[in-house]
Structure 1
């Protein structure tokens, strides 16, 4: 997953969490608002009940009390015995008793509690009737309202049931003194209060029932929102995935184009990626790290797009300056990838894939754990593929030979732990590919011609002969005795004189004619122009020099050019290297032959 995909993933996940928290916040807020509303309704209900009681009390108090017939419910109030006319008998003989406001409200409260479950209580800290004594909660409320004279309400439990308890103060009026003057009250004093306790649960149930429908709507809205965000997240991830994939395929195509110009490096990137993943799995890296490693390995040589073709496509070994130039591909790859958001995460890996564990690598000379872990793995995979792949200037090693070399370089070029794991992981690698030495297409033919063909005649040049004669055991295309056993050296004499007399253009024309003629004559024999006037023909059989007289005479009969020809077995020591061969050729330059030139020129083959 690239940087943008991760950003989209994080952003959308945060959006989902935020959306969920928002809906939960709404539901939680509604829940607490519902509870507050239920409690407020209970409070209002209690206040309404108190207002009713207060209205009754005021009416009764305004009449100085009310006389009612004596019955089981309305027995004479023993706490009003100090009033002389508490009991009276009517003219018809009916016995009446005085009921003061408190007595009446007590009876009303009892009836109300029985009918509606609402508890009412006339209470006082200093009551006439002990039944009206304040309980602890009422005592707290009455004490608190002595100065404020405001009603007091809060939730409280009675017998483990939650009630909304509200108490409103009763102030002493002139009418109250009829019954309470002897207690020392004055008009305006807080004599007590009317306490109402209403069960809150019915109000909770009613409001929660309404909340259920609101919450259901919010949950549906939450589901729709989540579905929309998940859909958008998937679309965004797909967009960035497709964009990254397009970028990757574009860069992979560039890498393939770079490799496609050379059959010797074709498939290098893919193989390095496969080897790197094999090592990573043996190291038990995470899937995310393996994916990152594979992406980095697939473009690790992308910086070579900035390397001049004359260096990048050179079939032979690079000189010091050329090597310094090609080293820049690590930095070039980093600069290219770092500017692309989808590849920023692998830019440093690509930059560091040629760093060595001992600090002798490039471009930054990093060492040890300073080198990115995944870059260290690519370094091993890259070296393994180079060792097991043919080059025109060296043959490939076997898997076993390559792994032995990796082991030898552990701690110097490679991370010792990674090298040990790589040796084990790559031991079963099957080298199923083959590298052919023949030019695969016209592009490669021309590339080899650029490096290994004489620019004037089109014959092979000294550089290619040097590769063929190299004694190194790694040479991939060195001379094989069973294929080529004889060599013929042709020396031209006085050719510089001919150029001065006839002109350089005519001299060049003569060389081209000779090369063309001999190419047709000897199509199976490689021909080399080693120096301006010296040529070598390699052949499986000895050449019939006499058969060439007519053709050679035809070309040089009318000029001052003379020739010398020597024929050797390839096993002759002078062919052990280009240096010994040139020493012999330069020593032979003092020989002066009298005959007119007899020359043998080779035909270019389609592949060496």
Structure 2
């Protein structure tokens, strides 16, 4: 049997495909009913959302669709299909077995007598009952509109109820202590955790003032912040509070304004999060970290102490560089925290020398190419030592740059200009200034102004121009201590002897003579050349051991006789003597000693006014004295 709708004038409009449509299930065994329904409702929208059709031609097909889709808003259901009551049995299945009370069911029948309206609506929980012959286009749209509106409202209510239940469960199961107070500071709700903490029941807490549950100090804090939150502020702070059951606890307290459905601020939600364990663990972690840092610092500064004990120049140098760096940084208005890091980095900038061999580290003279390559390794070593410690990673980045150059010709990474940090640039200038103004065995120090002149000359080459300008101001009153690398302690003397003393005779060697000639020539008035004659023949006759013994005795005689003179052994058999006065060398006394008289060996001396000959290298002396 087929039925036509009374009003057939509505135009067909293509259904737009849009997101989140209202799902309508048409259940009817006649294809024409499906087609006409879709045609009439093709342009239907509710709440700006279109509809989507599902089609079933039997109750069985409808069950399959419903089992796969739980968001059907409306079912347009025929009664008579594969059986006389197939539609009614489907309605019963939906309500009882699927427990779906949300979907709206509109029964459409062409045989109203077979399914009386009042009985059907009551017995099968049908939402509407329509005779197909009276269901015009307009009435169909009106029916669908009302049904979907009902579905929407019921879904909102269910969602709200679900949300309410969800948040109620969350509220009561939360481990945080939560309560809600009204404008009169009375508790209107409290969760189980809060009630347990204050040793109260729900009944004797609700409606009571919050201010008889805490200490006076806590009450004052609560009142002040509840009042602020009542004016719309979200507030958060950490404090310590006493609870009846838990005792003293560290809590993170938050205050949230609560707005009702009319958007009126009517209450404040207060949330106490117990962070006691977190605080205690953090304190333990901080204490452990502090101890680790202390241990690291002890280790690091022990290494620095070892270096200083190995090399007295390094000890004074690191302290001076740190002092100069701080003065320059302050002139440049560097942040105090960064200045503190810069000072530490300066104190540690030569820590990599811990792995530098003594033969290089302690060498008072200039390095050869191989030695220079090795000494440069102290930067990489120091960087690796410091960067392995979290606390010192920033220091490592500063320290590793102190031999870079503004023009990119430095080491270890060849950085230039702004690739070098400002603290690195300060270290470069400070390190160089100290090197310029410190006496070395192989080089006299510069006066402060001389150092300034060289720094200005090296602007944009070795040094950052702004840092040089700051240094000229910051270091202008610097009083440079008179320093040198001459030995003072027994250890330094032993080190000095290793490099500059002849191991056989204990007088100075020719390497040190070159250094003295270059840097201290103005101190001496005379130079004496002592030549040993027939020593080769003596060695050939008596042997090298006896020859060495004789040379050692002559050297000892010179040291004993002229303790204030500088005596150097050269070429194995001869000596140079530098004196600060004009006293002559008593050559007869030397030749008349018993150990020389018994041999064919003799000693001669040639003396010159050192300031007049003005020679600065051993090679020049060799030519002058025709050696």
Question: What is the TM-score when the length of structure 2 is the normalising length?
Answer: 0.56
What secondary structure is seen at the aligned counterpart in 1 of 2:188?
A: helix
| Cross-structure match for 1:455 | 503
| Cross-structure match for 2:390 | 341
Structure 1 distance, partners of 2:597, 2:448, is: 58
| Cross-structure match for 2:554 | 514
| CA shift in 2, pair 1:538/1:551, >3 Å | farther
1:223 aligns with 2:236: no
The 8 Å contact of residues 568 and 577 in structure 2, kept in 1 or not, is answered as yes
What secondary structure is seen at the aligned counterpart in 1 of 2:295?
A: helix
Structure 2 distance, partners of 1:235, 1:206, is: 39
What secondary structure is seen at the aligned counterpart in 2 of 1:208?
A: strand
1:363 aligns with 2:412: yes
1:303 aligns with 2:347: no
Q: Which of residues 388, 391, 394 in structure 1 aligns to 2:437?
A: 388
Q: Which of residues 183, 191, 194 in structure 2 aligns to 1:214?
A: 194
Equivalent residue runs for 1:15-414 within 5 Å? 208=188, 210=190, 214=194, 217=197, 223=250, 225-226=274-275, 228-414=277-463
What secondary structure is seen at the aligned counterpart in 2 of 1:535?
A: strand
Structure 2 distance, partners of 1:465, 1:575, is: 12
Unaligned runs of 5+ in 2: 1-145, 159-180, 199-240, 252-273
The 8 Å contact of residues 438 and 484 in structure 2, kept in 1 or not, is answered as no
| Cross-structure match for 1:529 | 569
CA apart distance, 1:239: 3.1
CA apart distance, 1:327: 1.1
| CA shift in 2, pair 1:520/1:229, >3 Å | same
| Cross-structure match for 1:541 | 582
Structure 1 distance, partners of 2:513, 2:149, is: 121
Structure 2 distance, partners of 1:465, 1:578, is: 7
The 8 Å contact of residues 530 and 604 in structure 2, kept in 1 or not, is answered as yes
The 8 Å contact of residues 356 and 367 in structure 1, kept in 2 or not, is answered as yes
| Cross-structure match for 2:82 | none
The 8 Å contact of residues 259 and 268 in structure 1, kept in 2 or not, is answered as no
CA apart distance, 1:565: 1.7
RMSD of equivalent CA atoms: 3.5
| CA shift in 2, pair 1:415/1:216, >3 Å | farther
What secondary structure is seen at the aligned counterpart in 2 of 1:267?
A: helix
What secondary structure is seen at the aligned counterpart in 1 of 2:502?
A: coil
Structure 2 distance, partners of 1:522, 1:284, is: 57
| Cross-structure match for 2:56 | none
What secondary structure is seen at the aligned counterpart in 2 of 1:300?
A: coil
The 8 Å contact of residues 514 and 616 in structure 2, kept in 1 or not, is answered as no
Structure 2 distance, partners of 1:360, 1:153, is: 74
CA apart distance, 1:534: 1.0
What secondary structure is seen at the aligned counterpart in 2 of 1:563?
A: strand
1:435 aligns with 2:415: no
What secondary structure is seen at the aligned counterpart in 2 of 1:271?
A: helix
CA apart distance, 1:264: 3.4
The 8 Å contact of residues 438 and 483 in structure 2, kept in 1 or not, is answered as yes
1:364-397 deviation digits (Å, cap 9, x = unpaired): 2111222233222211111111122222222322
| CA shift in 2, pair 1:343/1:145, >3 Å | closer
- Relative contact order higher in (CA < 8 Å, ≥ 6 apart): 1
Structure 2 distance, partners of 1:262, 1:205, is: 73
Decide which structure has greater helix share: 1
Structure 2 distance, partners of 1:230, 1:393, is: 60
| CA shift in 2, pair 1:370/1:216, >3 Å | farther
| Cross-structure match for 2:134 | none
Structure 2 distance, partners of 1:575, 1:418, is: 40
| Cross-structure match for 1:494 | 534
The 8 Å contact of residues 514 and 617 in structure 2, kept in 1 or not, is answered as yes
1:41-67 deviation digits (Å, cap 9, x = unpaired): xxxxxxxxxxxxxxxxxxxxxxxxxxx
What secondary structure is seen at the aligned counterpart in 2 of 1:488?
A: strand
Structure 1 distance, partners of 2:446, 2:196, is: 72
| Cross-structure match for 1:564 | 604
What secondary structure is seen at the aligned counterpart in 1 of 2:462?
A: coil
CA apart distance, 1:310: 1.5
1:242-271 deviation digits (Å, cap 9, x = unpaired): 422332233223223323334433321122
CA apart distance, 1:508: 0.9
Unaligned runs of 5+ in 1: 1-142, 156-200, 590-608
| CA shift in 2, pair 1:543/1:262, >3 Å | farther
Structure 1 distance, partners of 2:394, 2:582, is: 61
| CA shift in 2, pair 1:493/1:410, >3 Å | same
1:423-481 deviation digits (Å, cap 9, x = unpaired): 222223343x33266522011101111111111100011122112211xxxx3xx0344
The 8 Å contact of residues 322 and 346 in structure 2, kept in 1 or not, is answered as yes
Structure 1 distance, partners of 2:185, 2:596, is: 122
